[in-house]
Amino acid sequence: MAEDLISSTGKGLVYEDHIPLRWNRLTSPLPPARRSRLDQQNEEMLAFISILEEHKGEAGEDEHDPHRVDLLRVEHKVNLLLDMVGQLLARQTDMPAPVPVRLTPEAIEWRAGDAPLADDRLLLEIFISNKYPTPLVFSGQVRAVEPGEGGARVVVAFEGSSESVTHALEKLIFRHHRRLVALARRRQEDAAT
């Protein structure tokens, strides 16, 4: 049942990684005004992550163009600065330990020693970007808790996210998948040479 939730909600694509995650039990559903604020914050955060993760030069741009080379050099310097600032922010932020996560636009699964109870309502903080250590925050309900090796497997279905947040999360998952495919292809090409 829990495996089906992650498999069926992801429409084939699932974000898998080790990322910091924190959860807190909720005693009641979030009020509409709070849910609306979270949606707005998540939408802004996902848009910002999209900008940070943008990769130029994918669609046939001339890499030998001197202006393009200069632009890439500046882009690399900006990325280095963003990485350094992100590391400084992460040190100043009370970051939870990374855990193995599987994420879809509608649900999340993770393994951890400290697990909620089945049917608990949770407020989840998901730190998905190393460059900008601010969490996405979702409310959800625990659908499964299964004890196992390496900690309990927890599956939570998100509650009440807006269509725009769900769509932005789908795009993030697709970009993550596309990067993994490109990385695997590059490794195959490097191994072949």
In-domain check, residue 167:
yes
Provide DSSP, 25-50.
EESSPPPHHHHHHHHHHHHHHHHHHH
Q: What are φ and ψ of residue 168, in 5° steps?
A: -65, -35
Token pair, residue 130, equals 């190393």
Instruction: Find where tokens 């310097």 sit.
Output: 77
pLDDT for the residue numbered 73:
76
DSSP state of 95: P
Residue 61 lies in a domain: no
Would you say residue 34 lies in a domain? yes
Angle formed by the axes of helices 32-53 and 163-192, to 10°? 30
Residue 141 belongs to a domain? yes
At 66, the amino acid letter reads: P
- Report the alpha-carbon distance of residue 79 to residue 56 in Å, rounded: 12
Residue 88 lies in a domain: no
pLDDT reported for residue 107: 96
- DSSP structure class, residue 97: P
Q: Where residue 167 sits, what CATH number does that domain have?
A: 2.40.10.220
> Rounded mean pLDDT of 113-119?
91
Please state, as a whole number, how many other Cβ atoms lie within 10 Å of the Cβ of residue 152.
Answer: 16
Q: Please report whether residue 80 resides in a domain.
A: no
Q: How far apart are CA 17 and CA 20, in angstroms?
A: 10
Higher pLDDT, 71 or 61: 71
- Three-state DSSP at 172 gives helix
76-90, 114-128, 147-161, range with the lowest pLDDT: 76-90
Total structural domains in the chain? 1
What is the rounded average pLDDT of the residues 118-131?
Answer: 92
pLDDT at 152: 93
In contact, 24 and 138? CB cutoff 8 Å? no
Q: Please write the tens of the pLDDT for every residue from 51-66.
A: 877 654 444 455 567 7
Q: Write out the residue range of the structural domain in which residue 128 sits.
A: 2-53+97-192
Per-residue pLDDT tens over the stretch 3-47:
555 554 445 689 999 999 999 999 998 999 999 999 999 999 999
Work out the burial of residue 110: count CB atoms within 10 Å of its CB; fewer than 13 is exposed, 13-18 middle, 19 or more buried. buried
Collect contacts of 66-75 with beta carbons under 8 A, ≥24 apart: none
Percentage of the chain surpassing pLDDT 70?
Answer: 84
Which amino acid makes up residue 40?
Q
pLDDT of amino acid 16: 94
Residue 182: inside a domain:
yes
Select the more confidently predicted residue: 159 or 83. Answer: 159
Q: How high is the pLDDT of residue 193? A: 77
